[in-house]
Structure 1
Amino acid sequence: MDAKPCISASYLLCGGRAVVDNFVFHALHLAAQSGYTKCVAVDFSFLKKLARPGFSLSFLSQKPSQMMGLHIGTYSSKVVQLRYEGERAILETYGEIKNEGYLKHPETSRSGGGIPYLDTDISELIKDLIRESNVTATAAICTIPATAAFITTISFPRSLSQEIAQAVPYEARKYVPIPIAEVVLEWMILESSEPSDTIDVLLVAVPREIVEKFRRVAQGAGITLRALEVEPFSLVRSLVGHDATPQVLVNIGHVATTLTFVDKGFIRLVHTIGRGSQELTLALERGLAIGKDRAEQAKRDIGLSERIEEREISSVLVPLIETLFAEIARTMAIYNRRVPRKIQRVNITGGGAHLKGIIEYGASKLGVEVARGNPFARLVTPPFLQPLLNDLGPNFSTAVGAALREFTPR
């Protein structure tokens, strides 16, 4: 394997952001103590009755004192370690590293699960990420990309309320494009704020091949896989919690944008748009004949600026952002026509949330409150690091939500 650059531990101890060759790394370490109880048998069963925020493949039942949230993204991978004290979740360490240089060998089988690379490549990435972040927890909650799962809402006549458990697997065949025997299926009844003749059921299906892939990757990385969770549910936990406001989480990733519609803390709809922040970077590279690093910096520093001297940059980006937000507005309009409680807030997260001016642009186009997600606001963190964590927050929304899973009611 090719040698990879090493990032000094002394830098990681103080918290911050480092760039080494092709790698970007953020980390914090606050005297984390191990003391982790050894885990026991693995349980593949889903939890059928889940309280907010719900939906995860739970393998172990004993509540830990530490937990690692692991998010393997398309562009970079993130880890967050939390410690539980009383009712508080304390941030112990976090880290992010670019996938470039690790994920070199594409995997063509269907089990890629949104991460179509060899298990060994992904395991090596995780091992380096954990080591350089000074993670001491041995158990992890890993997230599954929304694009690798099937999430939908099914309506049943209220007269069939006693037969829903038996009816869901049969009805799911209409919505899941692969044989039901090849997926792990989970569902829950959604609360209704208005009297209705129907009962809505949220259905989540994950191909068994993907579950097995994550099991192999975790084993290769030397960590204990405590649970798998589909990304939108981690986002709800870190950005919404028990907030009852009807809202949309707009997760602008590297190659796709996922819209998660939430009401009373429960997911109502998940919609994926095949546009991400990579599209903006490539457009700047081609349009201005600049390198990737300069294009990334231009998105952060100039973005959608209306200043005359900066329109060379914004004129490339605005048409793409217009198309993205037109699709967001269209999906919101369809959702609002179908429900009594209309969307009141949009929460933008993911790497694309760093585009300068995107919050103001979103508010002008969507006509509701628009904010940038900060998952670290739900954690106990050192006051002196809060400005840095506010800036990094959108990158870590999924990893924080995964790590919080064991510290919040199911």
Structure 2
Amino acid sequence: MKEIITLDIGSHSIKLLGLKKTSRGPFLSHLAIKKIPKGIDQEDVRAISSILKLLMEDEGIKSKKIKLTLSSPGIQLRRMVMPSIPKNELTEAIKWEMKAYLPYTPEEATFRYHIIDQFTQDKAKKLDLLIVSCPSEIIEKILKISSDAGLEVEHLEVEAFSLWNALIFFEETKIGETLALLDFGAKKINLFIFKDGIIQFAREFTPGSDDLTRAIMEEIPSKEDLHLQFEAAERIKEEIGIPLDSPSIKKEIGPIDPSKLLFIIRPILERWISEINLSIEYYRTQFYGEHIDRMLICGGGSNLKNISSYLQRELRIPVKHFNPLSEILYDPKHVDSNLIEQMGSTFSTSFGASLSKPKEIDFLSPKLYFWERFPLDKIVSIGIPLITILIYILMIWQTETKLAKFERDQKDRMEKLKKLESMVFQFRQLKEKEEKIKRDLSILPSSIGKPIHYEEILIKISEMIPPNVSLTSLEITSETKNPKFELKSSKLKEAKSPDDEKRILYLSGLAFGNDIQVLSAISKVIEGLEQLPRFKNVKLLSTNENKSYNKFSAQFEIICDILPPMEPLQDKVP
């Protein structure tokens, strides 16, 4: 659960508030106030930074990220209606519109605006703006204080918007109602007027609550220590406050005569009433007689006893003390309940700054994109020539790229052309060789080159062999001889011979059975060969008895001529 740390650095004290967001609403995790010792100059950044650092250490806060509120007499808030123009032009126009209302030059200030409404008037778009200006040196100072304390500022908001958000959170601003809010500070008092939930008017005036304290201190005998005088005056403000009925004052208030207290503080009180009435009257003249329905008071000076009753009696307006912390859950280990009860209104600004912002103005320098850091005229004067140069470079690059691609394509085409020429040359050579072979073949006899189909011969021989005959050798030779071949495998070996010699088929085998069966089988072999179209001159070379088997068998040898391929194959009629 992330803790939001908000600081309100005032002229007399530094207020710290820690808030966490829970499902049950805001949860107060830290609440502390550290007074700035008397005698420390408000411009002493180093001293105030040390006090701030010590406050963070006392509270045991390790987070370095914080939110800050701005409260300074130099802050100006004004509502204006302006034409709807571009954002960069609107910022410059606001400076000149606010110039007449500033006690300093526009160059010395930082401006922010909040758009309340957008509407059309006389066919022209208008902006209803709430404009806030703050001296730049005040912003730099408070950021320097935080930086020297080792803190990182995430958000810097003006007091008016912090209080506005606190009122919205507690639904104190209502439609159809005009509400006044008085924030009593040490050096000044801020008056804000809200109509229909929108801030309409803001004014600051003096004297502040410190002036009331000094008026009381002047009546305390000078023999008292200055610090003790201050403490006594503050105690009188809190315990006695404004005597509404002087004769009834019976409480001992130290060295001051009780009957004189009202006389002492009356000039300050009357000045307050006068400034409030003057502000309300000015608001009424500007907003067509609007009356104030009720008033809320907050800030450290609102702890003055009987201040609500006094203001209600003098202004004739219902007045109520606004303490936003009275209804907030808190951690008793880190938050003092007496501090909430007695000084809760002092933290109204810090509480509002800690909330999620429905209404927000941030005085931190906006994070600009790179191109937003340069004026438009410079961008145009530099950008157009630069773009022209880039376009020219891009055109050159594209041209060179296309040229390089064209050269590569040409090179590839030339290589392919060379390969094609080589293939054409090789093709021509092959054609020439083919022609030469054809010429050579035309010279040779037509029988040359025509192969004998030995597969057909073998098939025919295997079909006409009787069952009781087993071939032991088959040879095609060009010589008439009686070789002794042995059948070593199922594949027959073919003997190559010159083409001009006669081819002879040689067969040898065994015939099994009695004499008649053997002779009959050999006769069938001879007759079968004679009937085959490729054989002629079939002769029986020899027959011999073979005693290698347990049954009678005879070994025989047969030869015949093989007809050349040019002769037509015609089956012989037996």
Instruction: Give TM class, smaller chain.
Output: 0.7 to 0.9
1:300 aligns with 2:238: yes
1:152 aligns with 2:78: yes
> Residue 372 of structure 1: CA displacement?
1.0
Bigger mean CA deviation after superposition, 219-228 or 316-325: 316-325
Residues 54-87 of structure 1: CA deviation (Å, up to 9, x unaligned):
xxxxxxxxxxx21111011111111001112247
Aligned AA (1:295): A
Please give the alpha-carbon distance, in whole angstroms, between the structure 2 residues aligned to 1:214 and 1:146.
Answer: 11
Counterpart of 1:393 (choices 341, 344, 347) is: 344
Please give the alpha-carbon distance, in whole angstroms, between the structure 2 residues aligned to 1:307 and 1:170.
Answer: 52
Bigger mean CA deviation after superposition, 337-346 or 161-170: 161-170
Q: 1:376–1:333: structure 2 CA closer, same or farther, 3 Å change rule? A: same
Counterpart of 2:29 (choices 92, 97, 101) is: 92
Q: 1:210–1:283: structure 2 CA closer, same or farther, 3 Å change rule? A: closer
Bigger mean CA deviation after superposition, 311-320 or 272-281: 311-320
> Residue 162 of structure 1: CA displacement?
5.0
Counterpart of 1:317 (choices 253, 265, 273) is: 265
Counterpart of 1:364 (choices 294, 297, 313) is: 313
Counterpart in the other structure of 1:236:
164
| Structure 2 unmatched runs, 5+ | 250-257, 361-574
Aligned AA (2:98): A
Instruction: Say if 1:146 and 1:258, in contact at 8 Å, map to a contact too.
Output: no
TM-score norm. by structure 2 comes to: 0.53
> Residue 191 of structure 1: CA displacement?
4.6
Q: Matched residue of 2:37: which SS?
A: coil
Please give the alpha-carbon distance, in whole angstroms, between the structure 1 residues aligned to 2:296 and 2:327.
Answer: 15
Counterpart in the other structure of 1:76:
13
Instruction: Say if 1:257 and 1:274, in contact at 8 Å, map to a contact too.
Output: yes
> Residue 342 of structure 1: CA displacement?
3.0
Count of residue pairs the alignment pairs up: 331
Please give the alpha-carbon distance, in whole angstroms, between the structure 1 residues aligned to 2:6 and 2:269.
Answer: 30
1:344 aligns with 2:293: yes
Q: Matched residue of 1:217: which SS?
A: helix
Please give the alpha-carbon distance, in whole angstroms, between the structure 1 residues aligned to 2:99 and 2:278.
Answer: 28
**RMSD (CA atoms):** 2.9
Counterpart of 1:261 (choices 168, 193, 199) is: 193
Residues 223-265 of structure 1: CA deviation (Å, up to 9, x unaligned):
1101111112212222444522421221111121111222233
Aligned AA (2:27): I
Q: Matched residue of 1:287: which SS?
A: coil
Choose between structure 1 and 2 for higher RCO, CA contacts under 8 A separated by at least 6 residues. 1
> Residue 324 of structure 1: CA displacement?
0.8
Q: Matched residue of 2:219: which SS?
A: helix
Counterpart of 1:170 (choices 96, 107, 111) is: 96
Residues 344-375 of structure 1: CA deviation (Å, up to 9, x unaligned):
12111112111111100111111221011102
Q: 1:378–1:162: structure 2 CA closer, same or farther, 3 Å change rule? A: farther
| Structure 1 unmatched runs, 5+ | 1-34, 36-64, 107-115
Counterpart in the other structure of 1:226:
154
Aligned AA (2:134): V
Q: 1:312–1:218: structure 2 CA closer, same or farther, 3 Å change rule? A: same
Q: 1:134–1:263: structure 2 CA closer, same or farther, 3 Å change rule? A: farther
Please give the alpha-carbon distance, in whole angstroms, between the structure 2 residues aligned to 1:388 and 1:121.
Answer: 25
Q: 1:307–1:397: structure 2 CA closer, same or farther, 3 Å change rule? A: same
Bigger mean CA deviation after superposition, 219-228 or 125-134: 125-134
What pairs up with 1:34-113 in 2 under 5 angstroms? 65-86=2-23, 88-100=25-37, 104=40, 106=41
Counterpart in the other structure of 1:123:
49
Q: 1:207–1:284: structure 2 CA closer, same or farther, 3 Å change rule? A: closer
Aligned AA (2:137): E
Please give the alpha-carbon distance, in whole angstroms, between the structure 1 residues aligned to 2:267 and 2:140.
Answer: 41
> Residue 390 of structure 1: CA displacement?
2.9
Q: Matched residue of 2:61: which SS?
A: coil
Bigger mean CA deviation after superposition, 290-299 or 353-362: 290-299
Please give the alpha-carbon distance, in whole angstroms, between the structure 2 residues aligned to 1:121 and 1:221.
Answer: 10
What pairs up with 1:267-306 in 2 under 5 angstroms? 267-289=199-221, 291-305=229-243, 306=245
> Residue 142 of structure 1: CA displacement?
1.1
Q: Matched residue of 1:173: which SS?
A: helix
Aligned AA (2:73): T
Q: 1:307–1:192: structure 2 CA closer, same or farther, 3 Å change rule? A: farther
Aligned AA (1:343): I
Instruction: Say if 2:75 and 2:133, in contact at 8 Å, map to a contact too.
Output: yes
> Residue 201 of structure 1: CA displacement?
2.3
Please give the alpha-carbon distance, in whole angstroms, between the structure 2 residues aligned to 1:87 and 1:192.
Answer: 36
Q: Matched residue of 2:275: which SS?
A: helix
TM-score norm. by structure 1 comes to: 0.72
Please give the alpha-carbon distance, in whole angstroms, between the structure 2 residues aligned to 1:278 and 1:84.
Answer: 35
**Computing the radius of gyration over CA atoms, which structure comes out larger, 1 or 2?**
2
Q: Matched residue of 1:148: which SS?
A: coil
1:353 aligns with 2:302: yes
Instruction: Say if 1:275 and 1:324, in contact at 8 Å, map to a contact too.
Output: yes
Q: Matched residue of 2:182: which SS?
A: strand
1:213 aligns with 2:137: no
> Residue 182 of structure 1: CA displacement?
3.6
Q: Matched residue of 1:140: which SS?
A: strand
Counterpart of 2:179 (choices 244, 247, 270) is: 247
Please give the alpha-carbon distance, in whole angstroms, between the structure 1 residues aligned to 2:357 and 2:101.
Answer: 33
Instruction: Say if 1:143 and 1:228, in contact at 8 Å, map to a contact too.
Output: yes
Please give the alpha-carbon distance, in whole angstroms, between the structure 2 residues aligned to 1:318 and 1:409.
Answer: 38
Counterpart in the other structure of 2:275:
327
Q: 1:138–1:86: structure 2 CA closer, same or farther, 3 Å change rule? A: farther
Please give the alpha-carbon distance, in whole angstroms, between the structure 2 residues aligned to 1:220 and 1:247.
Answer: 39
Please give the alpha-carbon distance, in whole angstroms, between the structure 1 residues aligned to 2:357 and 2:131.
Answer: 24
Q: Matched residue of 1:190: which SS?
A: strand
Aligned AA (2:189): T
Q: Matched residue of 2:111: which SS?
A: strand
Q: 1:177–1:92: structure 2 CA closer, same or farther, 3 Å change rule? A: same
Q: 1:276–1:177: structure 2 CA closer, same or farther, 3 Å change rule? A: closer
Q: Matched residue of 1:147: which SS?
A: coil
Please give the alpha-carbon distance, in whole angstroms, between the structure 2 residues aligned to 1:74 and 1:368.
Answer: 30
Please give the alpha-carbon distance, in whole angstroms, between the structure 2 residues aligned to 1:178 and 1:131.
Answer: 38
Instruction: Say if 2:207 and 2:271, in contact at 8 Å, map to a contact too.
Output: no
Please give the alpha-carbon distance, in whole angstroms, between the structure 2 residues aligned to 1:232 and 1:407.
Answer: 13
Please give the alpha-carbon distance, in whole angstroms, between the structure 1 residues aligned to 2:216 and 2:102.
Answer: 38
Q: Matched residue of 2:161: which SS?
A: helix
Counterpart in the other structure of 1:202:
130
Instruction: Say if 2:29 and 2:331, in contact at 8 Å, map to a contact too.
Output: no
